[in-house]
Chain A
Amino acid sequence: MFTGLFNYWIVVILMMAGLYIVMSSGHLVKKIIGLNIFQTSVFIFFISMGKVSGGTAPILKDGISVFSNPLPHVLILTAIVVGVATTALGLAISVRIYEAYGTVEEDEISEMDKENRQRETSVSTVVLDKQ
């Protein structure tokens, strides 16, 4: 049972590890890495699904009767491109965040935002009271 589904166990472990990193880490770049691990686990899931045991690559050639299903592999090619784009954009935004805040730690950023917000609301209530 365990060895037969080896790939899928790896998928589950990677998926949980990735999601855990996204949730637990406050470092934005680490979050992106977690997201990547999470996505990669899904890629492995699709690729394992398309594999036919004993099958070769799906090439039309004499003497080959059993071959793996190429469709999931092609789908994952697309999903990998999407994943790379997401990672690139995430990292680009992290760089911009670092330029704007001087940190990529989520706690410090939300602390700064909170102060910012308090200032805005306190100003607005004072003005409304005056009116």
Chain B
Amino acid sequence: MIEQLPAIQLLLTLLAAPICSMLRNGDQSWRLATIVSWASVAIAGALLHQVWGGGNDISYHMGGWPPPWGIEVVVDELTAIVLLLVTLFGALVMTALRESLSTIMRHQRQSLYYTSFLLCMASLIGITLTGDAFNVFVFLEISSLATYTLIARGRDRRALTAAFRYLIMGTIGATFILIAIGFMYMLTGTLNMADLAERLPEHRDSRVLHASFAFFTVGIALKIALFPLHYWLPNAYTYAPKATTAFLAATATKVSLYVMIRFVFDVYGVEFSFQQMQLGTLLVPLSLAGILIASLTAIFQSDAKRLLAWSSVAQLGYMSLGVGLLNLNGLTASITHMFNHAMMKAGLFLALATMIYRVQSSQLTSLAGIGRTMPLTTGAFTVLGIGLIGVPFTAGFISKWYLITGALDKGWLPVAVLLIISSLMAIVYIGKMIDVMYFKPAPEEFSNVREAPMSMLIPCWIFALLTLYFGLDTRITAGLAGRVAANLLGAS
């Protein structure tokens, strides 16, 4: 049973999805989906426990076919933490989703929505688990297709154009990755990642491999929404229905970043990616530009959801910057921030969705004075916002600390200064929201809104408390990330 866990982790959500679509009753399928997601969290926890400490990675052979012929499932520490990220934050959002959906969707439609949600979760788990390059492409496309349908269900008609735009960009990105995988297969005749990693170095001067790397970088950058390929993200996040944004912001881009780290470090190899192809020279300036421009844009938004979406673009810049720094602290910061940002941004979007549940608008003007009518939700929002800024004793501080240390290790003082400036910008845009929520008088029609239902409030506060917890206890986040980073860098 224990050795079957990696397969169960994937199959549980994948099989629950079609069952969900067959249940006509929205409540029933919500119950099933919630139970399944929490079961996945338990499995992810068990897997993390098994590989904890490094050195005892799990390799599972699908159908008993040994790699490189069969499909291999590999669980190491990095995989396990990303699995925990996807399942835990997915499950928390799923718990809050029923109340959130009840105002915008008829009961029968809801089961289909949970189906898409579960499919998206299953495919993200699949991307994380698989050790096969082509599998990554297939799961990437499944998750994207599920995401497009999730976004297109938004109430505003602009959700449709946002979904369409994402569909075009996402498909181009995924197809680029497919081309990259094709080139690698052409050179080596294998699709297993570990096998590829062994065989690629001898082709390091081949132009085919260079082309493959170029296609991969552009394709995955589209998926991560790295600046300047972030064009699809703000609209998609703004118009996606309510709590869904919390799930997307937490998982989709993070898992893409995981794919990038996997391929760049493990498959292509550090030496090839960074010395021969000079990935760092590309990533660092673009990430910095992304951080500053996106933070600046966020300051001038009047829609709370769009503001947080732009902040996401900036925060993704932090993560890619950490990869670009290519030293222990930088990479540790990337992986830590992947987890921490997923947690904080999911919490922020969820708290926002909870407010929108009551006031039916995400414009800052409608949220004015909500701190008095919905004190608990706003309290969670404030804690999470402070975490995002990176105040000490919150999770955001840990990752920023490592990132700035990483920049200083390189002797790049200007980069560290720019990071501090961008944190100040975060204070401005988060502060602007908190200011409106607490100190502006509420519009009359919203002066007697009630506090949100418990099923939404509790997940919000779990996110907030986790943000505080991971600000103090960094064994699971930074401790693990440090080991993983040392491993990735040492593998070259």
In angstroms, how far is the closest chain B Cβ from the Cβ of A52? 12
Any B CB within 8 A of the CB of A72: yes
Q: Cβ of B365: which chain A residues have Cβ within 8 Å of it?
A: 123-124, 127-128
Contacting pair B145 A89 (CB below 8 A): yes
Q: Cβ of B157: which chain A residues have Cβ within 8 Å of it?
A: 97, 100-101
Residue among B186, B302, B368, B443 making CB contact with A121, cutoff 8 Å: B302
In the assembled complex, the Cα of A22 lies from the Cα of B222 at a distance in Å of 15
Any A CB within 8 A of the CB of B266: no
In the assembled complex, the Cα of A100 lies from the Cα of B186 at a distance in Å of 46
Any A CB within 8 A of the CB of B27: no
Closest Cβ neighbor of A126 among chain B residues: B365
Any B CB within 8 A of the CB of A107: no
Any B CB within 8 A of the CB of A85: yes
Q: Cβ of A86: which chain B residues have Cβ within 8 Å of it?
A: 141, 145, 167, 171
Given A46-B182, A86-B145, CB of A35 within 8 Å of CB of B171: yes
Any A CB within 8 A of the CB of B423: no
Any B CB within 8 A of the CB of A109: yes
Contacting pair B158 A35 (CB below 8 A): no
Interface segment, one of B13-21, B172-180, B267-275, B313-321 = B172-180
Given A35-B171, A93-B167, A97-B164, CB of A124 within 8 Å of CB of B364: yes
Kindly identify, within residues 111 to 162 of chain B, every residue whose CB is under 8 Å from any CB belonging to chain A.
134, 137-138, 141-142, 145, 148-149, 152, 157-158, 160-161
How many chain A residues sit at the interface, stated as a range, is: 35 or more
Any A CB within 8 A of the CB of B440: yes
In the assembled complex, the Cα of A124 lies from the Cα of B186 at a distance in Å of 56
Residue among A42, A49, A75, A113 making CB contact with B161, cutoff 8 Å: A113
Any B CB within 8 A of the CB of A79: yes
Given A121-B302, A124-B302, CB of A82 within 8 Å of CB of B138: yes
In angstroms, how far is the closest chain A Cβ from the Cβ of B126? 13
Any A CB within 8 A of the CB of B441: yes
Given A78-B138, A82-B138, A123-B365, CB of A94 within 8 Å of CB of B164: yes
Kindly identify, within residues 22 to 73 of chain B, every residue whose CB is under 8 Å from any CB belonging to chain A.
none
Any B CB within 8 A of the CB of A131: yes
In the assembled complex, the Cα of A109 lies from the Cα of B165 at a distance in Å of 12
Closest Cβ neighbor of A86 among chain B residues: B171
In angstroms, how far is the closest chain B Cβ from the Cβ of A46? 5
A interface secondary structure, majority: helix
In the assembled complex, the Cα of A93 lies from the Cα of B161 at a distance in Å of 8
Any B CB within 8 A of the CB of A17: no
Any A CB within 8 A of the CB of B2: no
Contacting pair B172 A35 (CB below 8 A): yes
Most A CB atoms within 10 A — which of B134, B149, B441? B134
Kindly identify, within residues 256 to 289 of chain B, every residue whose CB is under 8 Å from any CB belonging to chain A.
none
Given A75-B134, A123-B365, A124-B302, CB of A131 within 8 Å of CB of B441: yes
Residue among B138, B167, B303, B443 making CB contact with A89, cutoff 8 Å: B167
Residue among A49, A94, A97, A123 making CB contact with B186, cutoff 8 Å: A49
In angstroms, how far is the closest chain B Cβ from the Cβ of A99? 9
* 22 chain-A/chain-B pairs, Cβ below 8 angstroms: A19-B172, A35-B168, A35-B171, A35-B172, A39-B171, A49-B182, A72-B182, A72-B185, A75-B134, A79-B137, A85-B141, A89-B149, A93-B148, A93-B163, A97-B161, A101-B157, A109-B161, A110-B161, A123-B363, A128-B364, A128-B365, A131-B441
Q: Which A residues are closer than 8 A to B by beta carbons?
A: 19, 22, 28, 31, 35, 38-39, 42, 45-46, 49, 72, 75, 78-79, 82, 85-86, 89-90, 93-94, 96-97, 100-101, 109-110, 113, 116, 120-121, 123-125, 127-128, 131
Q: Which 7 A-B pairs rank lowest in CB-CB distance, beginning with the nearest?
A: A100-B157, A124-B365, A127-B365, A82-B141, A124-B302, A97-B160, A93-B164
Q: Which B residues are closer than 8 A to A by beta carbons?
A: 134, 137-138, 141-142, 145, 148-149, 152, 157-158, 160-161, 163-164, 167-168, 171-172, 175, 178-179, 182, 185-186, 302-303, 363-365, 368, 440-441, 443
